[in-house]
C-alpha cells in the first residue's frame, strides 16, 4: 500500500495503518483521522516471521539488502507498536489523542 502525504510541518504526528487478511481491508489514520481505506489487499495472506524494517524501502533481498540511501526516511520515529488484531476506531482515536501507554502484543518499541 502506498499513499503520498506531506507531514513536513515540524510537528509530531500519530500514524496508524491497519490491515486484516479475511477481506484484505486496510485503513490509514493520521492523528486519529481515517484518511484512506480499501479492501482486497492480500486477502487470506498470512504474515510470516521475518525482519521489520522501518523508514527504508527495500527493493530486493540479498547482497546489500536492496536498500538505497537516497530512499530513506529522515526524521524521528517513536512509539512503534504492532497488534495481532485491528483495533476499534475508539481505541485508535484514544491512542492518537491521549498517547496512553498501550503497547502492541506483537511489537512494542
For residue 44, give the C-alpha cell. 487470506
Q: Alpha helices of the chain — where are they, by DSSP H?
A: 89-98
pLDDT value of residue 54: 81
For residue 33, give the C-alpha cell. 483521522
Using the structure block, give the residue that is written with the C-alpha cell 483495533. 87
Sign of CA dihedral 82, 47, 16, 92: negative
Q: Give 17-69 pLDDT, tens digit per residue.
A: 998 988 888 999 999 999 988 888 888 788 788 777 888 877 776 666 777 87
pLDDT value of residue 31: 92
Q: What is the pTM of this model?
A: 0.76
Burial class of residue 18 in the structure, from the number of CB atoms within 10 Å of its CB (0-12 exposed, 13-18 middle, 19+ buried): middle
Amino acid at each position: 500500500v502506498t499513499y503520498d502525504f506531506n507531514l513536513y510541518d515540524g510537528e509530531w504526528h500519530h500514524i496508524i495503518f491497519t490491515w486484516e487478511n479475511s477481506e484484505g481491508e486496510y485503513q490509514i489514520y493520521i492523528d486519529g483521522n481515517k484518511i484512506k481505506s480499501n479492501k482486497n489487499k492480500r486477502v487470506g495472506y498470512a504474515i510470516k516471521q521475518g525482519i521489520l524494517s522501518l523508514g527504508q524501502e527495500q527493493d530486493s533481498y540479498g547482497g546489500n539488502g536492496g536498500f538505497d540511501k537516497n530512499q530513506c526516511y529522515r526524521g524521528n520515529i517513536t512509539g512503534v507498536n504492532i497488534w495481532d488484531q485491528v483495533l476499534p476506531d475508539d481505541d485508535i482515536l484514544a491512542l492518537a489523542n491521549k498517547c496512553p501507554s498501550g503497547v502492541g502484543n506483537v511489537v512494542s518499541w
